[in-house]
Structure 1
Amino acid sequence: MSNQLIRMSYASKATFKPFNAVDGVDANVANILSTARRENRKNNLVGALYYGNGCFFQCLEGQKSDIDALYAKLEKDPRHTDLKVLSIEPIQQVGFVSWEMKYAQIDQEVRAFLKNHQLGKFDPYRFSPEMTAELVAVLQKADEGLSDAELKHIDSVSNSKNASGVSMGIYIMSIVIAVVVTALVTLWMTGV
């Protein structure tokens, strides 16, 4: 039934190097969150995202047809790979009521979760169905995640760093060229 309300949890691996962090959040993750929130608003989806050890754990809630359509897009998204559905279950109501995509900064809770399950690092590919359900419950209880304003700040800082990095590179290159040209002109004028 395509209008059935479901919860789907999946894991994937980031294709980018982790922790180009601004305010403790990877700029790539902030970009993914901004996109997810915008798209999920359009498609009446809610959920949560956790990122750790180069892996994503995402929980989505909404109409089955909407989640299926989004998952088909996610499979083609070059920012992550190795998507694996961990659970799909029918639900009576959504558990992430006001979150188009909650980004849970719950490292302490996840460390306790991992310790409780005797895992040395965050690896959702090793989660049992019970562990998946437990982490979803932890995500639902988590305090407010990053706001849209915080994401915009991270994105603007990241973009300004990238822009200044390019500008600085051009500046340095122009100095090198000026030094080389000056040296060549000097050698030419002195007849050496």
Structure 2
Amino acid sequence: MEQVLLVEIDRCWGCKACQVACKQAHQTQPGPGGVEVQAVEGPGAEPSCDYIPVMCQHCSDASCAKACPRGAIKRGAAGEQLIDDALCIGCGLCVRACPFGAVYLRPDTGRAEKCDLCAVRRAQGLVPACAQHCLGRAITLCDVEEVRRRTAGRHVWSMGRVAYVSEQVIFPTKGYV
């Protein structure tokens, strides 16, 4: 069953519970992590702000994977883009190639890291840590048909295994689930 991480922007409070949960699940050092919540100011005269959890999109045509000279970034069985730590040389080309800023070099190892859609947790029958701990239930792991049903009539933006949805246009439309 093909699954997608659905992010409902209108439900995100900006609490960063997803960010903390990701760091704890992956025992990541201080600094960047697999999820970074960004604040985006809304257009118009009335002040408004949307919070957007930004993570690896697990793109169908991943520029990070293409940029890696060692072939360390490969598609996993569930369609996610995974980094083989043994092959990564820490050159940073994948970091520069990612248009979402979702790949980073770990300060402790110097090797690339990013969201892996909690591959280990999912293999144990669990949902990704960001989805489990999201207080506003803005992040959920769904099959593709459920994503289509839940996003009908709303603005959807997707590049791979992550789909963002909102009542208003926040992202440019580049693809649909």
TM-score using structure 2 length: 0.26
In terms of Rg, which structure is larger? 1
Larger relative helix fraction? 1
